[in-house]
Structure 1
C-alpha cells in the first residue's frame, strides 16, 4: 500500500485526502488546524503532529497550500519536506503558486534526491469532493507516470503539460479564464434582472447554447440567490490573478480583459468580500450599477 501524506487539509486538500483513503492509499494528513486532521482520522486516515512526522515514511507527499511563501516554508524549512522525506520519494505540489517558484523548488527537491511535479488543480470544492478535478502536471515524464495513480484517485482529467513549472503556467491560464467568465456571467445576471427577465429560465437557455460554460452550470444559481458560500475564495483568486498578471508582463503578453478582471477581483477583496466565493464578483457589478439596494 502506497503511503501518501497530504499537507494542507482545507477546502480542497481535505476532500482530496478523503478520496485517497477511499482509493486504498495509506493516507497521513497534517494541517495547522487540528480539527481538520481529526476529520481525516474519522474518515480512515492517520494524523500527524508536524511536517517532519508526516513525511518521514511517505512514498508520496502532496502539498495543498494557499500561496508561494507557504509552500516554500513547508518544503525548505528545517522541519520541512526536503529535510525529512525519504530519498526517492515523490513530492506533488497541488497548490497554485508562481511558476518560477515551482521550478526553483523542483530543482531543490532534485538536489536532495526527491522527485517532484507541480500539479495544480481546477474544479473547486465540488470537484475535490467528487474526485473530478482537472489536474495539469509539470515535471519529467517518469515523475508524471509515478504521480499518475495518485492523481487519478482525485481527478478525472490528468494531463502532463510539460517540464517543471508548466502545470503552474497552465493553472494561471485557467484562473484567467475562470475570473473573466465569472465576471461576464455576473454582468449578464445583473443585466437580465434589470430588464425583469426570469433569470432561472434565462440561465437554462444560455447554458444550452454557445454561451454555455461551467460557471453557468455550477455558480449561476448561487449568484442569482446571492449565496456565496466559498468553494474558492476571492482572497485566493485575487492572489492567482496577481500570478497571472506578473507572468503575462514577464512574457510581454497583453491581457486587457484579464487585467480588468484582476482589478475587479481586487475591488471585491477591498470591499470586504475576500472570504466569499469568487462568484461574489456579482456584488461589485451590482455596486457599479447602483443596484445594491434593489
Structure 2
C-alpha cells in the first residue's frame, strides 16, 4: 500500500480519496479553508500544512482541482509540491486542464526527479462514488504501469492514450461530445414537450432505439425532473469547452457545435446558473422557446 497525497477534495475528489482509503492506502491532504470531510478523517486521512508538506510525506501525489492555474499553483507555487518532491515520486494530475500546459508541467516534474501522469476522468459524481470512472492517461509506459494499480481503485475503464498531454487531449474531446449530446437531448425533449407529447414516455422510447445514450438516461431524467444540482457544474464545462475552442484556433479548426453549446452555457450563467448541473443547458433553450419541458 502507498502513502498518497490527495489534493482536491471536491465533488469528485472526495469519493475518489475515500476509495483509496478503503483499499488500504494512506491519504495525506491539505485543508482549503475548511476541515477535511468527516468521512475521510474517520477513515484515517491526515492533514499536512501545504502541498510541499504533502509531497514530503507521500510516494504518490494526486491533484484533482478545477483548472490549469490551480494545478500550476499546487505543483509550482509557494510551498508547492515540487518543493517537497522526493526522487521517484509519482505525480498524477486527474484534473481537466490544458494539454499544452500539461506537457510543460510534466517536463518540470521530470526535471525535479519525479514521474508525471495526466489522468483526467469522465463519469461525473456518480462515476466517482461508484469507482466506475473512465480514466484517460497521458504518460510514459513506465509512468502508466506505476499509476495503473492506483487508478484501478477509482475507475473501470483506464486507457493509456499516449505521451504527456494525450490524456488531457482525450478529455477535451470527451467534453465536446458530452456537451453536444446534452444539448441534443435537451432540444429533443423540448421539441417533444412543445408538441404536446409526454416527455417521460418519449425518453423511455428513445432509450430503446439508436438515440440511446447514458446522457439521455441520466441527464434526460434530470431535465424531466428538473433536478439541476450538480453533478458537474456548468462553469466547469465552460472551462473545458474554452480549452477545446482555444485548441481549435491553434489547429486552424472549426468547431461550430462546440461554440454553440458554449454560448448556451453562457446564457445559463447570465441567468445565475454557473453552478447548475450541465443538464441545465435545457433552461437556456427553454428561454428561447418560452416553454418549459413538461408544462
Distance 2:43 2:25 in 1: 12
Question: Is 1:278 paired with 2:278?
Answer: yes
Distance 1:76 1:287 in 2: 43
How far 1:38 moved relative to its partner? 4.0
After TM superposition, the structure 1 = structure 2 runs for residues 160-239 of structure 1, keeping only pairs within 5 Å, are 160-239=160-239
Distance 1:126 1:149 in 2: 21
Contact 2:88 2:113 in 1 (8 A): yes
More divergent stretch after superposition (23-32 vs 99-108)? 23-32
Provide TM-score, normalisation by structure 2.
0.96
Question: Is 1:120 paired with 2:120?
Answer: yes
Q: Deviations over 1:222-256 (max 9, x none)?
A: 11111101010001001111000011111122211
Distance 1:43 1:216 in 2: 36
More divergent stretch after superposition (131-140 vs 258-267)? 258-267
Contact 1:31 1:37 in 2 (8 A): no
Distance 2:15 2:263 in 1: 31
2:30 is matched with which residue? Answer: 30
Corresponding residue SS for 1:230? coil
Q: Deviations over 1:68-92 (max 9, x none)?
A: 1111111111301111121110000
In structure 1, stretches of 5+ residues that fail to align are none
Contact 2:51 2:75 in 1 (8 A): no
Distance 2:38 2:143 in 1: 31
Distance 1:58 1:49 in 2: 13
Contact 1:19 1:153 in 2 (8 A): yes
Structure 2 CA distance for partners of 1:281 and 1:141, relative to 1, 3 Å: same
Contact 2:190 2:292 in 1 (8 A): no
More divergent stretch after superposition (65-74 vs 219-228)? 219-228
More divergent stretch after superposition (137-146 vs 253-262)? 253-262
Distance 2:266 2:209 in 1: 31
Provide TM-score, normalisation by structure 1.
0.96
Question: Is 1:260 paired with 2:248?
Answer: no
User: What CA RMSD, in Å, does the superposition of the two structures yield over aligned residues?
Assistant: 1.4
Structure 1 runs of 4+ aligned residues shifted over 6 Å read none
2:7 is matched with which residue? Answer: 7
How far 1:107 moved relative to its partner? 0.3
Corresponding residue SS for 1:153? helix
Question: Is 1:99 paired with 2:99?
Answer: yes
Question: Is 1:59 paired with 2:59?
Answer: yes
Contact 1:10 1:36 in 2 (8 A): no
How far 1:30 moved relative to its partner? 2.2
How far 1:57 moved relative to its partner? 1.5
In structure 2, stretches of 5+ residues that fail to align are none
More divergent stretch after superposition (36-45 vs 127-136)? 36-45
Aligned length: 294
Q: Deviations over 1:243-274 (max 9, x none)?
A: 00011111122211111112211221222100
